[in-house]
Amino acid sequence: MTESIGLDTAQDRNVARGARLLIVGPPGSGKGTQAVFVAERFGIPDVSTGDIFRHHITTETPLGLQVKAIVSAGDYVPDELTNAIVTERLSQPDARNGFLLDGYPRTLEQVGYLDGLLGERSQPLEAVIRLVAEQDEIVSRLAKRAHEQGRADDTEEAIRHRQQVYLRETAPLIEVYRERGLLIEVDGLGEVEEIADRVREALAARGIGELDELAAS
């Protein structure tokens, strides 16, 4: 199949496919884990604003020092700073033809900014994956992650705060993308692999799949 399309590597095949996706879900929904799978499958970068901020914090860059207290408290970093890091990341060569945005946009203002950015590139989003998960399940997962990874924003107080912020700021975005017909809702409960299969099937049902699969069908 690779020969029939004349491309060499999985990376080339997937970049040629150029999926432009976004994944949303409440803190603890498993969004980050699924994002890694999806990005790998499509050969596109997983652009996680949370990871980018954590990297700046760990390496103590000026931006890291600026956002450290905000991130630890579970509040949102101001839109201008967040929009700027996303603009920079999406300008990198590996994001030229595709990307998975993970944890961005999170506010309506960020949605507007992203629309402008992608509009300039004539690269509209193809789908928005929403992971749906119950609050109780989420709290127990996050408590486990806090124990395993020692994330500073995984104290019970910060978790509850992040969930409230999510409901207030981010839940409205879901309606915006639903109205645009981009929303794919996936049950986020179950085994990691099982959820990954659901995401894959939901994308394939919209004609978004690996080039190999499309070529084979």
- Which residues are at the interface with ligand ADP (CB under 6 A)? 27, 31, 49-50, 53, 70-71, 74-77, 82, 103-104, 106, 110, 153, 162
- Region for residue 21 given its phi and psi (left: phi exceeds 0; alpha: psi -120 to 50; beta: otherwise): beta
Closest CA to 25 of 176, 217, 215, 163: 163
- In the set 68, 96, 151, 160, the catalytic residue is 151
Q: Which residue is associated with the tokens 């969930």? A: 163
Identity of the residue, 43 or 103, whose beta carbon is nearer to ligand ADP in the bound complex: 103
- In the complex with ligand ADP, the residue whose CB is nearer, 90 or 211, is 90
Instruction: Clarify whether 31 is annotated catalytic.
Output: yes
CA 137, CA 78: separation in Å to the nearest integer?
A: 29
Which residue, 10 or 68, is less far from ligand ADP as judged by CB?
68
Q: Among 106, 130, 141, 198, which one carries the catalytic annotation? A: 106
Shortest distance (Å) from residue 85 CB to ligand ADP: 9
Residue 106 annotated as catalytic = yes
DSSP H or E segment with residue 32: helix 31-42
| Distance in Å, CB of 86 to ligand ADP, minimum | 8
Dig out the tokens for 58 from the structure: 């760990």
Q: Is there a contact between 131 and 140 (Cβ–Cβ < 8 Å)? A: no
Helices marked H in 43-165 — which ranges? 49-58, 62-73, 79-90, 108-120, 135-149, 156-165
Cα 133 to Cα 106: distance, rounded to the nearest angstrom: 17
Q: Which listed residue (54, 162, 198, 200) is catalytic?
A: 162
CB of 144 to ligand ADP, least distance (A): 13
Of 68, 96, 145, 160, the active-site residue reads: 145
Residue 141 is among the residues annotated as catalytic for this protein: no
State in angstroms the smallest separation of the CB of 193 from ligand ADP.
21
Looking at beta carbons only, is 15 or 71 nearer to ligand ADP?
71
Catalytic positions, written as ranges: 31, 106, 145, 151, 162
